[in-house]
Amino acid sequence: MHADFRVLLDACVMAPHGLCDLFLRLAETPRLYVPCWSARILDEVQRVQTDRLEPPWPKPRSDHWRREVEAAFPEAIVEGYEPLTAVLGNSEGDRHVLAAAIRGDADVIVTFNTRDFPADSLAPWGIAANHPSEYLNVLFSIDPVVFVSKLEQIATCRRQSLEEVVSRLSKTVPTFAQNVASQIGLRLPA
């Protein structure tokens, strides 16, 4: 499978490590979507990693993460979007996100902050804003076999069970975690 559906990942989706790991693996061959983001979004992710996460990441670890992400997905970076921010009607603090989605030719913005992207501000550009749980459920429905294989890769890499990986995801994307657990027969802790 080789999906070419472009999706902009907001910083709030890339900051939680487990969620970011899943989204990035789903963008690797065989990919279920094509990711995009801006340097500003990656800057925001790094600020969250080093200033807001508990425990915070040391700067060298955050810098390493960014180098690896940029090396793995060089085509994901969107540039030249800044002039668009002046004409956008969504939340002022997230106009750069919508502008990057427009310039990056994305069809969807995946964000926890869907309220910052009202439908009337997205409609002229043919873009939708989806909560990560919602979008993960879409990707799972496209190809459950590929999706589960990506979850199994994470489990192997972390030396955890599939149940443990999905259980940890339930902290950030509970609706998705419950759906995938019921679809593949996992029992998550209450």
pLDDT, tens only, 141-150: 999 999 999 9
Q: Can you give the pLDDT at residue 130?
A: 98
Give yes or no: residues 167 and 77 share one domain. no
Amino acid occupying residue 23: F
Q: Can you give the pLDDT at residue 44?
A: 98
- Look up the pTM and report it: 0.95
Joined tokens for residue 160: 């955890």
Q: Can you give the pLDDT at residue 17?
A: 94
Q: Can you give the pLDDT at residue 145?
A: 96
> What span, in angstroms and rounded, lies between the C-alpha atoms of 91 and 113?
10
- The structural domain count of the chain equals 2
Evaluate whether 178 touches 188 at the Cβ level (below 8 Å): yes
Give yes or no: residues 54 and 71 share one domain. yes
H/E stretch holding 38: strand 34-38
Q: Can you give the pLDDT at residue 2?
A: 60
Give yes or no: residues 129 and 160 share one domain. no
Q: Can you give the pLDDT at residue 189?
A: 76
Q: What are phi and psi of 111, to 5 degrees?
A: -155, 150
Low-confidence ranges of the chain (pLDDT < 50): none
Structural domain harbouring 124: 6-135
